Amino acid sequence: MDRYDIIIIGSGPAGATFARLLDDRYRILLVDRRPLHKSAQKVIKNCGGLIAPDAQKALASFGLSLPVNILVTPQTFAVETLDFDNDMIKSYQRHYMNVDRELFDRWLLSLCDTKNIKKSFSSHFISAKKSAEGYVVTLRKEKQQQDVFAPIIVGADGANSKVKKDLVGARKENEPLRYVSIQEWFKNETDLNRYVAIFDSEISDFYSWIIPKEQYIIFGSAIKEGDDVMRLHELQKKKLARYGYSLNKPIKKSGSYILRPKSSKDISLGIDDVALIGEAAGFISPTSAEGISYAMISGAKLAHALNEDREHFAAIYKENTASLRFNITKKILKYPFMYNKIVRKIIFQIGIGALDTNQR
């Protein structure tokens, strides 16, 4: 059985950042079920692919800048906010970078090409058994099962984390809310060149969005798990048609969970020698669903904790992520300003922060 110091399940922004920043004294196995090998064909990662200012700041603090081949057109500076509850529209300045999310993940992974990191892609985490010295992890790759061993496991496996479910658990009241997020790709027939955010309480207490990407537009919605997701997603498209957005004949479709923490208590950092980072831990903005910055920052903080003190890493990780949990609390306090329709109507009427679009 191959032995490592740390096995990381999930090679998204959290797992890749964590692996890159760990000391090279650690022998690491970085696993992902996606075919992320350099030669493998690109798959669609269910994401809007917007790199928000917090993620840009995290990249800058790592001393990284984005290679231009990751960027897609248009790079736009405005979000148009459609408030279907109050039948109002306002535009706001936003500083996102528009990227190809799959290429972004592959770029972060290309930065972990060091001898101490072994990558295993198209490889599914199946189970882990605890022994006195650590964990025997069973992986499945091309129908073959393989056991590997490590004293530490890191769950970086996203919103539907199996590592969390199988090895950490949580009290029901401390689970983040779960939304089902469907995204469809359409031809950009109207040359849309701005982002659109749609608030509509008939559909969801979260939001829907349209993002232009090269010759396509992506329409996505985040609808509470348990609601009639497909019907509501279709209804939102019909309502958008009345505002001139034609969303016919999707070319591609993807779906996944998206988490929404209700309080900082919904963040779970792990237990014993199993640590969670990124969305697996519940790190994601409860107001905008921006998760890339939290994934990279929490990955970096766990790496620093393990580099500092292998024995007491869990306590250091907890202490170092206090600012991230506080950040989520601040966003929860902002919630009524975005999601309470009466408050939003007043903000729209006063025009706080809105762009003057009369100049078009």
Ligand X SMILES: Cc1cc2nc3c(=O)[nH]c(=O)nc-3n(C[C@H](O)[C@H](O)[C@H](O)COP(=O)(O)OP(=O)(O)OC[C@H]3O[C@@H](n4cnc5c(N)ncnc54)[C@H](O)[C@@H]3O)c2cc1C
> What are the residues binding ligand X (CB under 6 A)?
9-15, 31-34, 46-50, 52, 55, 124-125, 156-158, 162, 181, 183, 220, 256, 258, 278-280, 284, 289-292, 295
Give how far the C-alpha of residue 352 lies from the chain's centroid of Cα atoms, to the nearest Å: 29
Q: Pick the closest to residue 7 from 143, 142, 167 (CA basis).
A: 167
CB nearer ligand X, residue 87 or residue 142: 142
Nearer to ligand X, 140 or 310 (CB): 140
Query: Between residues 264 and 340, which has the closer beta carbon with respect to ligand X?
Result: 264
The residue (of 224 and 345) whose beta carbon lies closer to ligand X is 224
If you write DSSP's letter for every residue of 97-129 in order, what string do you get? EEB-HHHHHHHHHHTT--TTEEEEESEEEEEEE
Rounded to the nearest whole angstrom, what is the least distance from the CB of residue 60 to ligand X in the complex?
15
Question: In this structure, are residues 28 and 118 in contact, taking their beta carbons and an 8 Å threshold?
Answer: yes
Q: Closer to ligand X at the Cβ: 20 or 162?
A: 162
User: Residue 29 in 3-state DSSP?
Assistant: strand
Residue with nearest beta carbon to ligand X: 291
Alpha-helix residue ranges (DSSP H) falling in the chain:
13-21, 53-61, 101-110, 162-163, 229-241, 292-308, 313-320, 322-339, 341-350
Query: Nearer to ligand X by C-beta: 56 or 86?
Result: 56
The minimum distance between CB 88 and ligand X, in angstroms, equals 24
Smallest distance, Å, CB 40 to ligand X?
13
| Beta-bridge partner residues of 99 | 71
Alpha-carbon gap, residue 267 to 170, rounded angstroms: 10
Q: Residue 160 CB, nearest distance to ligand X (Å)?
A: 7
Given the complex with ligand X, which of 32 and 100 has the nearer CB atom?
32
Tokens of 155: 């769950």
Name, in order, each residue with C-beta under 8 angstroms of 226's C-beta and a sequence gap of 6 or more: none
* Closest by CA position to 178, among listed 229, 127, 220, 253: 229
CB of 162 vs ligand X, minimal distance in Å: 5
Nearer to ligand X, 52 or 314 (CB): 52
Can you say whether the dihedral through the CA atoms of 132, 278, 104, 24 is positive or negative? negative
40 half-sphere exposure, CB direction, 13 A CA radius: 14
Least Å from the CB of residue 126 to ligand X: 8
Minimum distance, C-beta of residue 358 to ligand X, in the bound complex (Å): 29
The arrangement of strands across the sheet holding 78-83 comes to 88-93, 78-83, 195-199, 208-213, 216-224, 177-187, 252-260
**CB-wise, 40 or 343, nearer to ligand X?**
40
Structure tokens that stand for 109 in this block? 């992974």
Contacts of 276 (CB under 8 A, 6+ apart): 154, 155, 156, 161, 163, 164, 168, 268, 269, 270, 282
Given CA atoms 327, 328, 333, 339 in this order, what sign does their dihedral have? positive
Q: With respect to ligand X, which residue has the nearer C-beta, 80 or 279?
A: 279
